[in-house]
Amino acid sequence: MFSWGRLTTEDTEKTIAMADPKQQNRKGGPRRRRPGFEMRISTKYAPRKVAEGRTLSCISDTSLKPDQLLELYRYLKLTRLVEERIVNLYRQTKVVGGVYRSLGQEATAVGSAYALRPDDFITPIIRDLGAVFVKGIRPREIFAQYMAKAWGPSGGKDLNVHFGYMDKGFIGPISHLGDMIPVMTGILLGARMQKKDVVGLAYIGDGGASTGAFYEGMNFAAVQRLPLIVIVESNHYAYSTPTSMQTAVRNLAEKAAAFGIPGYIVDGNDVIACYEVTSQAIKHARAGHGTVLIEAKTYRRKGHAEHDDQRYVPEGEIEYWEKQNDPIDRFEKFLIDQKAATKEKLDEITADVMREINEDSDWAESSPMPEPETAVYGVFDNSIVPPAFRPKVLES
């Protein structure tokens, strides 16, 4: 008698093989499994359990050179301090729209993007300002963008990381969760047709990984063996919904099995682990082996945006991540313990970052707001133009 309880993957394969002649090899036996059919999850870079109260550091097995380590430190500090300045501007009502922090998640964005080559592509989400900086975007552009200034990258038409630079391989994300996965898949298919050797890194949240677009994009990338690396930022919340209330898997990396691709779990608060795991995935993708899913385990220490007071967060939860698992504290400890930098050297880097932030936020604050009529240019359809603009814009 047929019993679901005892049915194993092998039994299923045999049943299919008997029913479908195309599934048989020439000798009539079942066809060999495609590599990747079974679940392949690497936990080499996963978070390690530590004794309570102990401050964490980073993994020491790294190919990064001393000057690269300091560059990573600079990007981490730049991300955190730029965001702090944006909050400051927001409280002065100089920011248009919401402010989305990556506080506590900076290592995921910085470490992973640092593993890319300049001509590779990224598409970030709101928690990936660090990756945007690694891609060569300057703080002044971010400040001007947040303040909707005319000299910001989108000329005041959109906000925060919603802009793009094709020549820098920075694909501007739209707000719709999940949709950038099929977009990046399409970009990589196009690049392959043009014989370009590039990989694409797409970021998505735990919430975004529950959308239909995510599944369709991943599936198509996997079957085409496209060099797509997807980092799922598992930060415990989507708005106020805990991850356990919107997915039944324990580790989001397990979703890789549904696409027949390898999955990795990485400690998202260890910048070195994030760099190393992404480098490994890039090697896999560049060698023609296809798509990889990486789950970065991290924590969103701020609310969804500045207006969110986090009243749904259990007491004491944020404190652990702040005191023992802050990605910058961990990296500082690592650099000093490994004698890769002195405290003075790190202070010097921070002072230089502050100098750049002051200069760039002054520049952005003093730059103009867009002229109203520019709203009708650079858009999909400008046939409906407000009457007051018509003589100036369309009839001249």
Ligand X SMILES: Cc1ncc(C[n+]2csc(CCOP(=O)(O)OP(=O)(O)O)c2C)c(N)n1
State the residues that interact with ligand X by CB under 6 A: 125, 127, 175-177, 205-208, 211, 233, 235, 237-239, 300, 304
Encoding tokens for residue 287? 């060698």
Q: Is 128 in the site for Mg ion (CB under 5 A)?
A: no
37 binds, among Mg ion, ligand X, none (CB under 5 to 8 A by kind): none
241/367 with CB nearer ligand X: 241
Q: How far is the CB of 371 from ligand X (least distance, A)?
A: 30
Q: How far is the CB of 177 from ligand X (least distance, A)?
A: 4
Q: How far is the CB of 263 from ligand X (least distance, A)?
A: 18
Encoding tokens for residue 220? 């198509």
The CA distance from 74 to 349, in Å, is 6
40 binds, among ligand X, Mg ion, none (CB under 5 to 8 A by kind): none
From candidates 238, 281, 282, 294, binder to Mg ion by CB under 5 A:
238
Q: Is 235 in the site for Mg ion (CB under 5 A)?
A: yes
Q: Is 126 in the site for Mg ion (CB under 5 A)?
A: no
Residue 150 to residues 140, 141, 252, 367, Cα–Cα distance (Å): 12, 11, 40, 7
Contact 30, 13 (CB under 8 A): yes
The CA distance from 269 to 281, in Å, is 18
From candidates 36, 111, 205, 262, binder to Mg ion by CB under 5 A:
205
Q: How far is the CB of 220 from ligand X (least distance, A)?
A: 18
62 binds, among ligand X, Mg ion, none (CB under 5 to 8 A by kind): none
85 binds, among ligand X, Mg ion, none (CB under 5 to 8 A by kind): none
148/266 with CB nearer Mg ion: 266
Q: How far is the CB of 211 from ligand X (least distance, A)?
A: 5
The residue whose two tokens read 């702090």 is 84
312 binds, among ligand X, Mg ion, none (CB under 5 to 8 A by kind): none
The CA distance from 82 to 71, in Å, is 16
Contact 240, 247 (CB under 8 A): no
Residue 312 amino acid letter: Y
Q: How far is the CB of 126 from ligand X (least distance, A)?
A: 6
- β-bridge mates for residue 122, sequence order: 170, 201
Q: How far is the CB of 205 from ligand X (least distance, A)?
A: 2
User: Phi and psi of 232, rounded to 5°?
Assistant: -95, 115
33 binds, among ligand X, Mg ion, none (CB under 5 to 8 A by kind): none
Give alpha helix (H) positions in 177-241. 180-193, 212-223
Contact 296, 91 (CB under 8 A): no
345 binds, among Mg ion, ligand X, none (CB under 5 to 8 A by kind): none
User: Which spans of this chain sit near Mg ion (rule: CB under 5 A)?
Assistant: 205-206, 235, 238
